């Protein structure tokens, strides 16, 4: 969908192609500080606006009932004040500063030319046209004369003269954007010379950049900026009795109590998405050696998937603890209730260390795999995953150990499982200054089958110049795969180990030494940690498992990496290695202040008889 992302460009389509690359490059060392200043910026809050649901309904009366989708953002600062520690955040001010930060010297200033006439909400609408998607931004006008000044300025920034159309007494101005000139590679006198490795690569034209844009002002005080004149005409033609405001699928989403409390809400129609299936697939090859990855199978699978659902919605709202979001994909037909699952859940989370980088947990991988296998028969694109995993395993291991990934591994993972990444002083990367470690816990009712599969993996690893040793951690005996330490004669280092924590719980770790993080059980485990318990408190139960990230810890690592790569070189060599090492780990106060606000981040998936639901939460203190 080449124009699907065009909506984010509707306010910048009139800008000249240059994005001030040199300016960004020159200011790279201060880039994190600039981001921090944006997030910590304070501004005066204007008067509160009307109810978000009522404002949405007013805009929906201007949108065709068969729209593909719409997204509405609440720009009222008071709607964002629920977030602790960010009570002074102004979304319009943040947008203005981010555009200034990333956009460079644009001929149009968001703060001076757009913000003065922009009201308290912005809506993006996606409409079906004959061969592409048209995106339209709808903004109620807070100051009509200021909008007229903006429109006059757009006509003076060096673009081709716009085409003026009078449609239903509404004046529409449409600009045809010039094609960017392709950069010619300078090969020098000798055409056979190979460009230097650090030479800039030619910039490819992005397919979703619009070729034109149009602007209009409706008599009811709505400003429209679209990727085509036809998109504006569709909104003008919308009859009062057949608008999105009368669509029962949209009204179902609008009546959800979450819509009223949201700062961002969205709605989409799967049927309308299905109409552009062939357009979406136009860049997919007609034939492919990859199973399920040819055009016909892709379209078949896409249409099947879209037929299973009617509509979707998205809600994002601010809370005293951070930001919450929920999306719902509604089934075309109500399904029978799920059988009640009485098996214990989340037991493995009590075995994980408290301090983690991330955790993925779920249950019964065997049943999940069988679902993928069955779905691949009617959804060919799933073959990419199903057949691809089988082929990859056979290619890497199968020839040596005769390993069947489905029979020898997946079949016995019929209980809970959890994958965890965590910091550890005994990490295999400790000698290189790293603390990254990983572990996997698996509950199974078939330990004998698991041992047979593990023996095949051990056979393969033993032929890779690895020694197999037995290591004892508490009451658990580990099978450890180790290589000779190149620096210390007679010493070995473990790269992978596994053992049975109890009769039905298998432990696999990256290096045998990190097993002591799991055995015995941590005094304060991840599952009982305050950070995790708080963030999942209002998430749906039961669910399919958790995808959790420690946003604060990951942000620290990311900032330290950036500073070590881009700023440590600015220190003179005479400063000494200790000072340089300290600078690589110390963070500027502005960055540290933002990071200190972060907590956990989690995704949760669940299903009821009428919908598939995804929930997201991030803690911001």
489-533 confidence digits (pLDDT tens): 888 999 999 999 999 999 999 999 999 999 988 888 999 999 999
CB proximity list for 189: less than 8 A, separation 6 or greater: none
Q: Has residue 193 got a pLDDT over 60?
A: no
Q: Has residue 198 got a pLDDT over 60?
A: no
| CA atoms within 13 Å, Cβ hemisphere of 266 | 17
Q: Has residue 296 got a pLDDT over 60?
A: yes
Average confidence (pLDDT) over 300-313: 90
Q: What is the pLDDT of residue 564?
A: 78
Q: What is the pLDDT of residue 298?
A: 83
Residue 177, classed as helix, strand or coil, is coil
29 confidence band (pLDDT: 50, 70, 90): very low
CA distance 175 to 228: 9
Q: What element of type H or E holds 524?
A: none
Lowest mean pLDDT among 74-78, 172-176, 261-265, 508-512: 74-78
DSSP state of 561: H
Q: What is the pLDDT of residue 209?
A: 63
Q: What is the pLDDT of residue 136?
A: 97
| C-beta of residue 38 within 8 angstroms of C-beta of residue 91 | no
103 confidence band (pLDDT: 50, 70, 90): low
Per the DSSP assignment, residues forming a β-bridge with 10 are: none
The structure tokens listed for 263 are: 């700062």
Angstrom CA distances, 30 to 123, 566, 585, stand at: 33, 10, 16
Residue 62, classed as helix, strand or coil, is coil
More confident site: 482 or 94 = 482
Average confidence (pLDDT) over 395-413: 83
303 confidence band (pLDDT: 50, 70, 90): confident
Comparing C-alpha atoms, which of 205, 83, 106, 88 is closest to residue 153?
106
Average confidence (pLDDT) over 593-614: 94
DSSP state of 188: -
Average confidence (pLDDT) over 428-451: 93
Place of tokens 């508490």: 474
The structure tokens listed for 224 are: 């429209």
Average confidence (pLDDT) over 440-466: 93
Phi-psi region of 275 (alpha: psi -120 to 50; beta: other; left: phi over 0): alpha
Q: What is the pLDDT of residue 253?
A: 98
Average confidence (pLDDT) over 202-219: 71
CA distance 434 to 444: 32
Mean pLDDT score of the chain: 82
CA distance 412 to 406: 9
Per the DSSP assignment, residues forming a β-bridge with 166 are: 171
Comparing C-alpha atoms, which of 352, 329, 480 is closest to residue 416?
352
Average confidence (pLDDT) over 153-157: 91
Lowest mean pLDDT among 92-101, 106-115, 495-504, 552-561: 92-101
| CA atoms within 13 Å, Cβ hemisphere of 178 | 10
Share of residues in the chain with pLDDT > 90 (%):
51
More confident site: 246 or 5 = 246
Per-residue three-class SS string for 111-160: HHHHHHHECCEEEEEEEECCCCEEEEEEEEECCHHHHHHHHHHHCCCCCC
| C-beta of residue 138 within 8 angstroms of C-beta of residue 59 | yes
Angstrom CA distances, 69 to 36, 59, 137, 312, 446, stand at: 33, 13, 12, 9, 47
Comparing C-alpha atoms, which of 446, 450, 502 is closest to residue 474?
502
CA distance 176 to 227: 10
Lowest mean pLDDT among 124-133, 228-237, 569-578: 569-578
Q: What is the pLDDT of residue 416?
A: 97
Average confidence (pLDDT) over 54-63: 95
Q: Has residue 263 got a pLDDT over 80?
A: yes
Average confidence (pLDDT) over 448-473: 92
Residue 278, classed as helix, strand or coil, is helix
Q: Has residue 84 got a pLDDT over 70?
A: no
Q: What is the pLDDT of residue 181?
A: 60
Average confidence (pLDDT) over 453-482: 92
Q: Has residue 325 got a pLDDT over 80?
A: yes
Q: Has residue 96 got a pLDDT over 50?
A: yes
CA distance 104 to 72: 27
The structure tokens listed for 334 are: 């109500």
614 confidence band (pLDDT: 50, 70, 90): very high
More confident site: 39 or 389 = 389
| C-beta of residue 353 within 8 angstroms of C-beta of residue 518 | yes
Tens of pLDDT along 526-559? 999 999 999 999 999 889 999 999 999 999 999 8
The structure tokens listed for 303 are: 């249409």
Q: What is the pLDDT of residue 314?
A: 98
Q: What is the pLDDT of residue 589?
A: 86
Question: Residue 207 class from Cβ within 10 Å (0-12 exposed, 13-18 middle, 19+ buried)?
Answer: exposed
């Amino acid at each position: 969908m080449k124009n699907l992302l065009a909506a984010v460009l509707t306010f910048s389509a009139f800008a000249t192609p240059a994005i001030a690359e040199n300016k960004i490059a020159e200011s790279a060392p201060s880039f994190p500080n600039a981001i921090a200043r944006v997030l910590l910026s304070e501004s005066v809050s204007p008067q509160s606006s009307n109810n978000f649901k009522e404002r949405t309904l007013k805009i929906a009366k201007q949108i065709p009932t068969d729209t593909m989708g719409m997204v509405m953002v609440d720009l009222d600062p008071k709607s964002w004040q629920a977030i602790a520690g960010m009570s002074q955040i102004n979304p319009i001010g943040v947008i203005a500063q981010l555009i200034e930060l990333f956009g460079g010297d644009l001929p149009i200033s968001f703060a001076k030319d757009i913000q003065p006439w922009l009201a308290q909400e912005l809506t993006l609408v996606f409409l079906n046209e004959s061969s592409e998607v048209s995106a339209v931004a709808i903004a109620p006008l807070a100051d009509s004369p200021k909008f007229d000044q903006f429109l006059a300025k757009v006509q003076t920034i060096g673009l081709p003269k716009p085409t003026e159309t009078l449609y239903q007494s509404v004046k529409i101005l449409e600009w045809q954007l010039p094609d960017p000139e392709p950069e010619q590679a300078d090969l020098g006198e000798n055409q056979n010379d190979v460009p230097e490795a650090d030479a800039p690569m030619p910039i490819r034209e992005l397919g979703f950049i619009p070729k034109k844009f149009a602007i209009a002002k409706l008599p009811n005080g709505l400003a429209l900026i679209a990727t085509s004149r036809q998109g504006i005409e569709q909104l003008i033609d919308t009859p009062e009795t057949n608008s999105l405001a009368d669509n029962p699928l949209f009204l179902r989403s609008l009546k959800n109590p979450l819509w009223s409390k949201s700062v961002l809400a969205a709605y989409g129609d799967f049927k309308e998405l299905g109409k552009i299936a062939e357009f979406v697939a136009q860049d997919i090859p007609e034939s492919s050696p990859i199973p399920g990855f040819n055009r016909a199978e892709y379209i078949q699978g896409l249409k099947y998937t879209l037929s299973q659902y009617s509509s979707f919605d998205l809600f994002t709202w601010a809370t005293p603890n951070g930001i919450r979001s929920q999306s719902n994909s509604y089934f075309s037909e109500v399904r029978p209730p799920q059988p009640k699952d009485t098996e214990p859940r989340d037991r493995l989370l009590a075995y994980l260390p408290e301090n983690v980088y991330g955790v993925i947990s779920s249950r019964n991988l065997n049943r999940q795999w069988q679902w993928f296998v069955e779905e691949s028969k009617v959804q060919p694109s799933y073959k990419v995953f199903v057949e691809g995993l089988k082929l990859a395993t056979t290619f890497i291991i199968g020839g040596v150990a005769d390993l069947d990934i489905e029979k020898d591994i997946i079949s016995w993972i019929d209980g809970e499982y959890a994958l965890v990444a965590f910091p550890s002083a005994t990490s295999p990367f400790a000698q290189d200054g790293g603390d990254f470690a990983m572990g996997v816990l698996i509950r199974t009712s078939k330990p004998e089958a698991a041992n047979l599969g593990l023996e095949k993996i051990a056979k393969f690893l033993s032929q890779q110049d690895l020694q197999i040793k037995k290591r004892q951690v508490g009451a658990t005996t580990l099978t450890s795969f180790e290589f000779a330490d190149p620096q210390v004669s007679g010493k070995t280092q473990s790269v992978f180990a596994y053992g049975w924590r109890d009769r039905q719980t298998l432990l696999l770790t990256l290096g045998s030494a990190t097993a002591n993080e799991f055995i015995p059980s941590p005094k304060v485990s991840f599952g009982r940690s305050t950070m995790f318990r708080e963030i999942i408190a209002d998430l749906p139960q039961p669910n399919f498992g958790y995808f959790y990230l420690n946003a604060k810890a990951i942000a620290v690592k990311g900032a330290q990496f950036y500073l070590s790569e881009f700023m440590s070189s600015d220190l003179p060599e005479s400063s000494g290695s200790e000072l340089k090492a300290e600078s690589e780990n110390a963070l500027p106060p502005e960055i540290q202040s933002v990071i200190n606000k972060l907590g956990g981040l989690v995704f949760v998936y669940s299903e009821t008889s009428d919908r598939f639901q995804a929930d997201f939460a991030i803690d911001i203190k």
